Structures are given as C-alpha cells and as structure tokens.
Amino acid sequence: MLQAMRENASSWIIKILLLAIVVAFVFMGLGSYEAQRASKIATVNEQAVSVDDYRETYNNLLQKARQQFGGNLNDEILEMMNLKQQAMDQLIIRTLILQEAEKLDLFVSDEELTGTIQDMPFFKQEDSFNVAVYEKMLKRVGLSPEQFEKDQRSQMLAQKLQQFITGSIHVSEAEAREWYDWENALVNIRMVRFDPETYTDIKPTEEEISAYFNENKNSYQTEPKVKAKYLRFSPEKYTKDIQVSKDEVQEYYENNLTAYSVEKTVEARHILIKLDENAPEELVQEAKTEAERIAKEARDGKTEFSELAKKYSQDPGRDNGGYLGKFVKNAMVQPFSDKAFSMNPGEISDPVKTRFGWHIIKVENVFPASTRTLAEVEAEIRQSLMEEKARNIAYDEAESFFDAVMEGDDLSIEAGSRDLEVTETDFFTRQQGPVGVGDPVKFASAAFELPEKETSDILELEGSYYLLQVTGKIPQQIAEFQTVSEKVKNDLVQQLKSRKAAEEAEAFLKSINTDNSLADLGARKNVITTGFFKRNGEVPQVGYEKPLMDAAFLLSGEKKWPEKVIKGKTNYYVIEFIDRKKPDPEEYQKEKETVINRLSQSKRRITFDAWLTKVRAASDITIEESFR
C-alpha cells in the first residue's frame, strides 16, 4: 500500500508539521507505536507501553505548550500542566482504545488509508496528491512513510471505534430548545463598581514593604538558568563539494512535471453595472438593459473599451480603464470566469451577471496552459537537489557524531578528533535562550530537559542540526530583596488598593435598604444600568466578567440582591436585578440545526468519555515504579 511512496528515514526529529494530524479526539498523542519495545513505562492488559512512545507523546505535548504560551512558558506553568501525567494518561487511553477496536473486529482497509492520506493538503500540489511532495515532507520531518501510515491507520481505527460507541446518540428538538433558551437568556441589572485604581493615596512604609516580601518570598524567585556547549551541523558547509548530475535533474523534472505546469491565463478588462445581490427583478432587468446598451456601444468600436469603462463602470478599477490584468480561472467568481475563459482575444461579451452586478468583458489576450521546459527550470532544480543533499549530509554527520559519543562523554573530545568547532554559551533562561543559535527558545527548551553532561538528541533549528550538552545549571532561588524591591512595592500597593475597594464594596452592600433600589442613588454612587446581556457574552460598559455574569443570572424578581459583593478580574461590584427575558423564538428556528449538531457532539463526547472510564476501570493497568 502506497509502496511507490516509501523511503526509510532515520531521523527522530519532532514532527511539528504533522502534529495536528497525529493528535485527535480525546486520545491526543497518537505517535509512532511499537508495543513490544525493549523498555516500558506501563503494561495495559498485558500489553507494554514503551518508553520511546512516552518520550514522543511528552514531546508532542511540550511542543503544543510552547505554541500556546510562547515565551511565557516557564517551569511553574509546566508543573501546573503536569505534562508527564498527561502523556501517561494519553498512552494508556490510546492503548485501551486500540485494544477495544480489535475486540470488535474493526479495521481500516488499505483503500481507506490511501484515500485519507491522498486528501491531506500537506501532500498536494496543484490540488492533486503528489508522491514527490509526500516523500519530501515526511523526509523533512524525519518520519518514514511506513511509520506515518501506521500512525494514521491507528488514528482512523480509533475514530471508527468512537463512531461505533456513539453513533446512535441523538438530541431531541425539546432538548435543543431547552438548552438554547438557557444559553441565550438575557438579564438586565444595575450596578455600582468599585475600582481599586481609584484609590491613589495608598503609600506603604518601608517596613510594610519588607514584611510583605518576607511573607511572599516564594513569589520572587529568579528564573533557573543553564549553559551549554553545542555543535552545529550546517548544510551550507557541505554544498561546495556536492555534485548534481544531469540525470538527477532530468529524473526530478520528470517526476514533478505538475510543479512546473503553468495554468491558462486570460488578460481582460470589464465594465461593471453594480447591483445589490438581493435586488428586485425590476432593478435587475433595468441594470441588464443598461449593460446591453453599453456592450453594443463597445462593439461599435467608435470608442475604446477602456474609455467606456472610465465613463460607465461602477467598479473601483474604472480609473484604470477596467483593467483586470492576467488571472487564472479560479481567481474570479465563476459566472465571470466561465465566460472570460471561453472567449478569444478581442471579443466583447454580452452582459454576465454575478453577485456584484452585470459585467461586460473584453478579453485582450489568452495565454494557453503550458509546462516550463527543463532548460527553464534546470538551475532551480539543481539548486533544490543540492540543498536537499546538503541537508542529508549535515544530518548524517550529526548522527555519526551522536553515535560515536558515549553517555557522559564531553562533546569537545570527540569534536577535537574530527576537527569540529564546539561553541559554549553563557547562562540563559528558558524564555530567552542563548544568542547565536537558530530558534533560541527551542534550543533552551531542549537544554532545560537535559541532565548535566548528557548529549541531546539531534535538534533541527532553522535548517541546521544541533547536538548540545548542558555544562552548568543555576537553580531557581529567592531573589535578593534589593533586586526586586520596586516590584514588591508595586505588588503590595495593588493588594492594598484591592483590599480597600473590597472593604468599601462590602460596607456599601450592608448599608443598602433592599426594599429600595440602586436607581434611587443615581449619580451619587455612579450607578450603571447595563442593559440586557447573555450569560456567556460581554456585560455592556464592563466587558467580559464571568463572576459578574454568573451572579446576575442567579438573581430574579424574588431575589433582586446578591448575598455578597462580586469580585471580578480586578474590580468589585454590587448589583441589583432589573429584568430577565427569553431569547427570540425566530432566532432559535434559524439556529436550530447548529444547536442540535453542537449538542449531539457534546453528548457523544460525554458518552464516549464515560465508556472509556468504565473500560479503564475494568482493565489491568500497571505503571512502572520509576514513572509513578
């Protein structure tokens, strides 16, 4: 299956580009999987879960975290996310799912797998699956087609199991309407806002600032740092010795002809009589009559088409004589492009209607589809093949060096024997990384995962390959007060402001006679009437404040006041209920199908999760001691 596409690749490079394909449903992390590898982290119903799978799944999760948090990712966030446990759970869930699929005799045929892969946009060129692109993309991320296809088959099998378990689940219209009415209910309130920033007279003493620091020392820790030495294997270093033969160029050209095909293009002008898409028939016919008159005048040839466009066209390009330039067929709306591509140079069309109005088209030139000759693209192909060979050599050199280094060996010793330059960094943080390397943040992330003196796996950073070794670590520690005193002061001021706002809000709430209304206070307390808002929207004049919205929807005509002050992101609120209303029934009818589909998906997910929990509880799962 897909045999023509296969070619082994030895790199383990993190498969960033394909991560979105490999991760699916609740069992994210469907990376490569060989159940009986030498070492294991767990056993699920007598089936081993390998350390290699664990590392791959953990790396995938780490990469997603980097994409989500960017430079803000730190050790505290990583600890909170508990990626190690997430990776363990995903592998156990994935194993259980595949085991259950096997019990039910579910399978994925070669035809299904082939169709799915050929539909992936990553592997298409000119809207068609391209074998060379497929091989090149997989090779670039160090993944063999055999393993990629195996991963996809596992994922598709898991999807089939989920469909089998949840396929009969439906949502009734009554359920959908009940949910819609709840989700889209509206409430109107009055409120008084207590903003901490209005309390500008907060001035803590030096003693208070020092005491605050001593009470909150763990909030003022320095970032951990590491330093490393590394080798960079740059493809550019090897290009001067690379030869690309004419036969190689010819073979590449013949295997990738579609990449050098040039679509048919048309060069044209047009005159547009604008018309609203929903215009009544009377106006449609009136505009068409005007367009027909202009088309006749254009065919008479007494006035240049470009001058007529300047005179009559209602298109922004009228000042340019209605010139559209050269374009391919799918660059224009279909009724327009169908007509333009059926015409010969010099022809002027009858009026053509699109959603923009009526067009009169003049085709000036037609450029037939063609294929760039080998002579035209030879230099381009030669350069591409040279770069690919250089990348392969650079990677092979990195791999050879990696294989030669024993665990704990100093990189410099082996580098010296090969006349390779080792670079040593200064200390750097996880967020910044060292200067002088490609993708410093990714480099830093790899360094922070390494024990001292252990050599990393091969990293691909901005086209070059790196091997690194951590040579020193400075752990996170409490900062000296002098270095953070200004920040401590600002934090204490903010705390005191917030406390003052809370105290005044509490005092105000207690002082209110609940038989009266905030409206009676008026401008004296800057009372705001919000207007109606939904439970998951924004509060007018406030913005998104979930605690405020939640509290508002707990109130009613019988219970107009909350029992306590509402704390928002920064502000405090005292609120009073005014009114509540149901959503418009006509709006429900417009959104009914969307609501039913959304609830069905949610119901299926809940059902599948419950089924999975039951399966897991009934399974024999043993986690290795060192991974608990």
Q: What are phi and psi of 439, to 5 degrees?
A: 50, 70
State how far the Cα of 332 lies from the Cα of 427, in Å rounded to an integer. Answer: 56
Residues 563-599 as b or e (16 or more Cβ within 10 Å = b): eebbbbeebbbbbbbbebeebeeeebeeeeeebbebb
Same fold, 3-169+617-627 and 225-244+380-474: no
Does the pLDDT value for residue 22 go beyond 90? no
Question: Is 176 in contact with 598 (CB distance < 8 Å)?
Answer: no
The secondary structure of residue 428, as a DSSP letter, is B
Sole residue written with tokens 């340019």 = 320
Measured in residues, the chain has a length of: 628
Q: How far is Cα 539 from Cα 163, in angstroms, rounded to an integer?
A: 39
538-591 pLDDT, tens digit each: 999 999 999 999 999 999 999 999 999 999 999 999 999 999 999 999 999 999
Supply φ then ψ for residue 592, to 5 degrees: -55, -50
Give me the chain's average pLDDT, please: 87
Give CA 329 to chain center in angstroms. Answer: 31
Give the tens place of pLDDT for each residue, 115-148. Answer: 999 999 888 877 788 888 888 788 776 667 887 8
pLDDT at 276: 87
- Asked if pLDDT for residue 481 goes beyond 50, the answer is yes
- Over its C-alpha atoms, the chain yields an Rg (Å, rounded) of 34
Could you give the residue ranges of the DSSP H alpha helices within 186-340?
206-215, 246-255, 281-300, 305-312, 334-340
Q: Which CATH superfamily is domain 3-169+617-627 in?
A: Porin chaperone SurA, peptide-binding domain (1.10.4030.10)
Q: Which two tokens stand for residue 108?
A: 């994925």
Which has the closest alpha carbon to 52: 71, 75, 26, 29?
29
SS3 call for 582? coil
Q: Which CATH number fits domain 225-244+380-474: 1.20.1070, 3.40.50, 3.10.50, 3.30.460?
A: 3.10.50
- pTM here is 0.56
Share of the chain above pLDDT 90, in %: 64
| pLDDT above 80 for 420 | yes
Q: Is residue 240's pLDDT more than 70?
A: yes
How far is the C-alpha of 112 from the C-alpha of 2, rounded, in Å? 12
| Main-chain phi, psi angles of 472, to 5 degrees | -170, 150
607 CB contacts (<8 Å, ≥6 apart)? 165, 166, 169
Which tokens hold the place of 92?
């156990």
Distances (CA, A) of 395 to 239, 384, 415, 529, 551: 13, 17, 16, 66, 59
Say whether 17 sits in a helix, a strand or coil.
Answer: coil
Specify the CATH number of the domain 264-368: 3.10.50.40
What number of CA atoms fall less than 13 Å from residue 77's CA on the CB side?
Answer: 15
pLDDT (0 to 100) of residue 65: 80
pLDDT tens, residue by residue, 437-466? 988 989 998 999 888 888 999 999 999 999
Residue 34: Cβ within 10 Å count: 12
Distance, CA of 171 to CA of 177 (rounded, Å): 10
Contact 176, 595 (CB under 8 A): yes
pLDDT of residue 4: 34
Least confident stretch, 54-63, 313-322, 476-485: 54-63
Helices marked H in 421-466: 440-449
Q: Which residues pair with 215 in a beta bridge?
A: none
CA distances in angstroms from 420 to 227, 279, 397, 459, listed in the order given:
20, 74, 11, 17
Nearest CA to 261 among 369, 152, 141? 369
The residue ranking higher by pLDDT, 62 or 390, is 390
So where are the chain's domains? 3-169+617-627, 186-218+481-581, 225-244+380-474, 264-368
Q: Which of 446, 424, 445 is nearest to 436 (CA)?
A: 424
Q: Report which residue type is found at 184.
A: N
pLDDT digits (tens, 9 = 90+) for 27-85: 333 333 333 334 789 999 999 998 888 888 888 788 778 777 766 676 677 788 888 89
Element (H, E) at 589: helix 585-617
CA distance 412 to 410: 5
What integer pLDDT is reported at residue 26 of this predicted model?
Answer: 30
Beta strands, E only, 159-206: 186-194
Strand extents, DSSP E, 290-350: 323-328
Position 313 pLDDT exceeds 90: yes
Residue 24: pLDDT band (50, 70, 90) is very low
**How many whole angstroms separate alpha carbon 102 and alpha carbon 104?**
5
CA dist 399 and 429 (Å) reads 27
524-538 residue pLDDT tens: 678 999 999 999 889
